[in-house]
Amino acid sequence: MRYIFGVLIVFLVVSASAQEEKELKRPDIPGEVMVDVGFNVWSSMPGALERRNWAAKSIAIYYTKRKAFGSKFSFNYGIGLGLEKMSLGDSSTLFSNKVVDDTLRAVSVGANTDNYSKNKLAMTYLDIPVEFRFHPLGSQDGEGLFLGVGGIVGLRLNAHTKWKYDLNGETVREKNSGKFNLNSFRYGYQIRAGFRGVHLFYKRYVSNVFNDAFPDGSNPVMTTVGINLTGF
Does a structural domain hold residue 23? no
CA distance 44 to 183: 16
Which of 81, 124, 108 is CA-nearest to residue 180?
108
Does a structural domain hold residue 90? yes
11: helix, strand or coil:
helix
- pLDDT in 10s for each residue of the chain, 232 residues: 554 445 445 445 444 454 544 444 545 567 889 999 999 999 988 777 777 766 789 999 999 999 988 888 999 999 999 999 998 877 777 877 665 565 556 665 555 556 778 888 999 999 999 999 999 888 766 678 999 999 999 999 999 988 887 777 788 888 888 888 899 999 999 999 998 789 999 999 999 999 888 777 889 999 999 999 987 6
Q: What is the number of domains present in the chain? A: 1
Q: Is 138 left (phi over 0), alpha (psi -120 to 50) or beta?
A: left
Does a structural domain hold residue 45? yes
> What is the CATH classification number for the domain harbouring 45?
2.40.160
Q: CB neighbours of 121 closer than 8 A, spacing ≥ 6?
A: 85, 86, 88, 93, 94, 159, 160, 161, 180
DSSP for 32-95, written as a single string: EEEEEEEEEEESS--TT----GGG-EEEEEEEEEEEEETTTEEEEEEEEEEEEEEE-TTTEEEE
Does a structural domain hold residue 13? no
Does a structural domain hold residue 2? no
Does a structural domain hold residue 17? no
Does a structural domain hold residue 119? yes
Does a structural domain hold residue 28? no
Provide the domain limits for residue 136.
Answer: 33-230
The amino acid present at 150, given as its one-letter code, is G
